[in-house]
Each structure stands twice: as structure tokens, then as C-alpha cells.
Amino acid sequence: MNPSEQSENRNPEDLLARAPGEPQWLEFSSRGRLAERLSGRVADELAAAIEERGIATLALSGGRTPEQFFVALSERDIDWSKVIVTLVDERFVDTSSPRSNAALVIKRLLQRHAAGAAFEKLYEPVPTAEEAATILNQRLKGLPQPFDVVLLGMGTDGHTASFFPKGDTLDEALDPKGEPRVLAMNAPGAEEPRLTWNLPALVKGRSIHLHIEGVEKKSVLFDALSDKESPYPIRAIFDHAPTGINIWYAPAEG
């Protein structure tokens, strides 16, 4: 049985009844429908944070999956001047690279209503990612935390943020007793060095959303949540988040 068939034959409700952290499964027929609903939910959470604390922080994942969501969120009319946007992780490239998560956020999200938001990039123009991490931890020490909204993605290898299997700082990144901080990460499947917020920074988020698309990723997530000894790093998010995680899923097409 291939991964797609295996994934389709497993019931999300059965899985989540056994998964840690009481996650919620939200499935949609298309990417566009998911983007519309998720953008409304996130906008409401940001608006509530602004009303309660006067400011809101939003930590986003990059890659291709959230592009439609970014556009939909940019069209939500909230007080973006009181929102600080940052990234969950970043490739160690500047915004001139097509692989830059920051460039994607600038192009797709920080437009229309959202043009007034502040943006804290996870990049510094220094020779190494390790040097960049040191500078970032100084620059971002005043960033309000915990984040109000954390939006995670997941790769087909089970990584989230830049928690890659066999990453050179993976153990440190996944240490639940650490202080929230940015780390450099080098891993075989990452192509270039990465910069990533660690596990404590992400799981302390007041609201955590995981956005995945396609049956292959669905199957990987099911495997990760079904096995307490799972090698997939995504499992650590569910094991350590004190709040329930919302899983947003749609097929890859549409």
C-alpha cells in the first residue's frame, strides 16, 4: 500500500483520540477554502490579542504551502500597525534569493491591509548562520513573547520549523527546558544552513496552527502521532505544547 492509500484509510478522529495534546483536525476540500477559513481564524486571534494587550505577535512558516493563506490574511482588515510579524525559521539567504522565506512574506503577506505590520526577519548579513543567530538573539530579545499566533508547516521528512532529522543542533533545539531563542541548524536535507526558533519559543505560543496539504504529508503526520517513539521532529510539538494544536489540512489541488 502506498502512503496516499494508507493515509486515506486512516480516520483522523481515531488518530487524534490517541494523539498527545488534544489536537483538532480541520479538513477542507480545497487549498483556497482552507486559506480563507484559516486567515479568518488568525485575524480574529490577532485582533483579540491587540484588544487585550495592545499588540500582537505572529510567527509564520515559509515555503509554498502557505502562499494562498498569506494573501487571504493580508486582506483581513485588522489594526496591522499593532502586529509584529516574524518567522518560525529561515534559510540563511537574503531576500534577493527565491528561497528566502522573508521575501515570500514581504511579497504575499505584507501588502494591502497588512502593509502596516512590523516585520522582524530571521536573517543577518554575516558570514555564518551561527554568527547570525548570536546577533538575532540580541536584536529580538525585546520581541513580545509568548507569540500570540504560531503557524507551523511540515515537510515530508517530518521536520517543522528547521527541526530537521539529523540536524547538528536538533537536540538543543528540541530541549523543552531551554529558554526561547534562535539557533543555527545544519542538516543533510536542508540544502543551506538554517535559522530557527527553538521548541520552547514555539510551543509556548498562545495559539498554534499546523498547516499541511497533500496526502503524503497527512500520512507522515499520522505516523508521527501514532508512535510515541516517532523519529519525526514534528512529534515534539505535540508532546510539549500546553495548548491544543489546530491541524489544517487540504488536498494539494485547488
Per-residue pLDDT of the chain (254 residues; tens, 9 = 90+): 444 445 555 678 777 776 787 899 999 999 999 999 999 999 999 999 999 999 999 999 999 999 999 999 999 999 999 999 999 999 999 999 999 999 999 999 999 999 999 999 999 999 999 999 999 999 999 999 999 999 999 999 999 999 999 999 999 999 999 999 999 999 998 999 999 999 999 999 999 999 999 999 999 999 999 988 999 999 999 999 999 999 999 997 65
pLDDT for the residue 196? 98
Measured CA to CA, the distance from residue 183 to residue 132 in angstroms comes to 9
Q: Which of 214, 237, 235 is nearest to 156 (CA)?
A: 214
Q: Classify residue 106: in a domain, yes or no.
A: yes
Are 96 and 241 within 8 A, CB to CB?
A: no
pLDDT for the residue 182? 98
Measured CA to CA, the distance from residue 57 to residue 13 in angstroms comes to 31
Taking each helix axis from N to C end, the angle separating 101-108 and 67-74, rounded to the nearest 10 degrees, works out to 40
Q: State the residue for C-alpha cell 497588512.
A: 114
Q: Classify residue 5: in a domain, yes or no.
A: no
Here the CATH number for the domain that contains residue 194 is 3.40.50.1360
pTM: 0.94
- Cell numbers linked to 1: 500500500
Q: Classify residue 14: in a domain, yes or no.
A: no
pLDDT for the residue 5? 45
Measured CA to CA, the distance from residue 190 to residue 213 in angstroms comes to 20
- Cell numbers linked to 230: 516517532
- Cell numbers linked to 251: 488536498
Q: State the residue for C-alpha cell 528547521.
A: 162
Q: Classify residue 3: in a domain, yes or no.
A: no
pLDDT for the residue 10? 67
Q: Which of 223, 233, 57 is nearest to 151 (CA)?
A: 57
DSSP assignment letter at 76: S
Q: How many domains does the chain have?
A: 1
Q: Classify residue 201: in a domain, yes or no.
A: yes
Q: Classify residue 145: in a domain, yes or no.
A: yes
28 lies in which domain range? 23-250
Q: Classify residue 164: in a domain, yes or no.
A: yes
pLDDT for the residue 254? 57
Q: Classify residue 9: in a domain, yes or no.
A: no
Taking each helix axis from N to C end, the angle separating 67-74 and 31-53, rounded to the nearest 10 degrees, works out to 50
Number of other CB atoms surrounding residue 196 within 10 Å = 29
